[in-house]
Structure 1
């Protein structure tokens, strides 16, 4: 892997996304719309629903949006033959995957900044830890979604198939990550399964930032964040093994 080539791939992806304003709008605005809907729907319900669900939504949305966009975009590169042409040049598999990851995480930096600013400074979500920690966790979540999307794209043959991986890989994690019910109140088997799901640690890291005191995060927050990053790195490394030099 060569840094110059990796950055060239990242610039190419960003240039390509700039020509697709609908995708950019989806990536940047969808999480903000979801947070707004959450606040609006529960605005007359006592109990601070935004404080309860907001951190988990901020963790979940970058993960999900990046998973969908990355898997579909990479599959499009495969079917169009662009990926095959890139691999025929002095471009390594690692250059391609890391370049894609860098470009999409850069987009998520803007996405996360917008949704966190909306939730905290406009809608009033309470956060005990530092605001910058929310941004760091959101970026890690987007990196995880990007890595999973890149890996999944190797097993799909059409864009429809790529989208079908979402209910298989994302929805079970959504149900078991502790968003709707604390994990210690789940059946024991469900709690054990959730221990092996990366979104569980993403949500707990975000909740740890919210539960912080005096500008410091809660105990275990950085450990959960490291687990998310480690899983993403492993998945990205495995994705290089599935990146074929020929398009079927």
Structure 2
């Protein structure tokens, strides 16, 4: 005999979404190791990068190698860290049975994922803020544009990592499988984003692939800030594309999220 679980009907007020956001933030605050990883890992890796390039020769009038690479890493590192943490955290909800219990309440899939996205986006803002603070004030990272624009792009890119992490977790059955999605989703974007080789110098078919990967536009937006004293139209266009990718990933994650663990 099959027992059907009936979800309560009726309106789902805003408090379903805000309650989910508050619950995730409370869980994060109680997990000191995760908070430390969220806030400190990108800043520590950027500090390591600074010492790697500290003695690299710089031609007269050219930007330092750390400036050229560091500005891009301010978008890449938060993206990677937020993808990993979000995918594992969401998968943990499923394995523990919390997800299945939540979805028998008036809380919809989109409510749940939006709450997760908001909570981790707040964490992403703190992460990007710490990374920018360390980079610009302690490591003397130089950019022609405003630090606030760099921070904005870094936060949006971290939110993209959150959305793609939620999407990856929707297809994973275990935490280990969630981690395995990282090289599949993050690896190609890292190689083709323009950090290692300018996108215009890639083989034609790889440049075409790069043009449909969101991290390419995040790096392009940061490079625009690095080279121009004010916000450019191309920067806003690239930032809008990253935001649209994040919104699309969140909606797709809600559409593909399974109610049951098996």
Q: 1:2 to 1:179 in 2, by over 3 A?
A: farther
Structure 2 unaligned segments of length 5 or more: list them.
1-11, 59-63
On the 8 A contact 1:204/1:224 being kept in 2, the answer is yes
Partner of 1:236 in structure 2? 250
Partner of 2:208 in structure 1? 192
Q: Could you list the per-position Cα deviations for residues 9-36 of structure 1 after superposition, in whole angstroms to 9, with x for gaps in the alignment? A: 0110011111211111111111001110
**Aligned pair partner of 2:189 in 167, 173, 181:** 173
Higher Rg of the two aligned structures: 2
On the 8 A contact 1:78/1:84 being kept in 2, the answer is yes
Partner of 2:75 in structure 1? 59
On the 8 A contact 1:28/1:111 being kept in 2, the answer is yes
Q: Could you list the per-position Cα deviations for residues 89-142 of structure 1 after superposition, in whole angstroms to 9, with x for gaps in the alignment? A: 111111110100110010111111111011111111112111111111111101
Between the aligned partners of 1:131 and 1:3, the Cα distance in structure 2 is 34
Deviates more, 1:220-229 or 1:16-25: 16-25
Determine if the alignment matches structure 1 residue 158 to structure 2 residue 169: no
Structure 1 unaligned segments of length 5 or more: list them.
none
Partner of 2:116 in structure 1? 100
Residue 88 of structure 1 aligns to a residue in which SS?
A: coil
Between the aligned partners of 1:113 and 1:142, the Cα distance in structure 2 is 11
Determine if the alignment matches structure 1 residue 131 to structure 2 residue 147: yes
Between the aligned partners of 1:29 and 1:2, the Cα distance in structure 2 is 36
Between the aligned partners of 1:125 and 1:105, the Cα distance in structure 2 is 24
Between the aligned partners of 2:226 and 2:120, the Cα distance in structure 1 is 25
Partner of 1:78 in structure 2? 94
Partner of 2:21 in structure 1? 10
Between the aligned partners of 2:138 and 2:117, the Cα distance in structure 1 is 30
Q: With the length of structure 1 as denominator, give the TM-score of the two structures.
A: 0.96
Between the aligned partners of 1:154 and 1:229, the Cα distance in structure 2 is 20
Between the aligned partners of 2:66 and 2:14, the Cα distance in structure 1 is 41
Per the TM alignment, residue 42 of structure 1 is displaced from its structure 2 partner at its CA by: 1.0
Partner of 1:143 in structure 2? 159
Aligned residues: 246
Between the aligned partners of 1:134 and 1:124, the Cα distance in structure 2 is 14
Between the aligned partners of 1:128 and 1:217, the Cα distance in structure 2 is 10
Supply the RMSD in Å over aligned alpha carbons: 1.1
